[in-house]
């Protein structure tokens, strides 16, 4: 099959409070909020088809991953490139992130306020 079938519209993250988690990522990534459907569906980024675009949908019964527990493994995570890991870590923690076990050459692991893992990465 040649060519593409479609274009990525959004990366969607389930969470109990879409407005709160969207606010966290808006500050972390510097993305504007572009849609809010009564707090059940909040979108950051640009219009459909323009990346990056993150959407947050309400999932009241969300059971977040428990890094690094294989009984509740992560289903995905975001890698965020930063210039200064120490300054970025302090800023992320001030926004409500928490440090998780594990790091490697060029990355550290965190959880967002809803418990989703993400990494701060540097070269």
- Model confidence pLDDT, tens digit, residues 23-56: 999 999 999 999 999 999 999 998 777 788 999 9
78-121: CATH topology is: 2,3-Dihydroxybiphenyl 1,2-Dioxygenase; domain 1 (3.10.180)
DSSP, residue by residue, 54-103: EEEEE-TT-----TT-TTS--S--EEEE-S-HHHHHHHHHHHT-EEEEEE
Contacts of 24 (CB under 8 A, 6+ apart): 95, 96, 97, 112, 113
Architecture of domain 11-58: Roll (3.10)
Q: Retrieve residue 107's tokens.
A: 């990355």
Q: What pLDDT, in 10s, does the model give residues 65-113?
A: 888 788 877 778 899 999 999 999 999 999 999 999 988 999 999 999 9
Domain 78-121 in the same topology as domain 11-58: yes
């Amino acid at each position: 099959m040649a060519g593409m079938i479609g274009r990525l519209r959004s990366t969607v993250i389930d969470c109990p409070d879409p407005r709160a988690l969207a606010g966290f990522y808006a500050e972390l990534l510097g993305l504007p909020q572009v849609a809010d459907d009564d707090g059940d569906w909040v979108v950051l980024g640009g219009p459909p088809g323009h990346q990056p675009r993150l959407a947050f949908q309400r999932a009241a019964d969300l059971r977040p991953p428990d890094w690094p527990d294989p009984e509740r493994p992560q289903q995905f995570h975001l890698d965020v490139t930063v210039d200064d890991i120490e300054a970025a870590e302090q800023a992320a923690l001030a926004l409500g992130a928490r440090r998780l076990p594990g790091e490697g050459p060029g990355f550290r692991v965190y959880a967002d306020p809803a418990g989703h893992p993400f990494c701060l990465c540097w070269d």
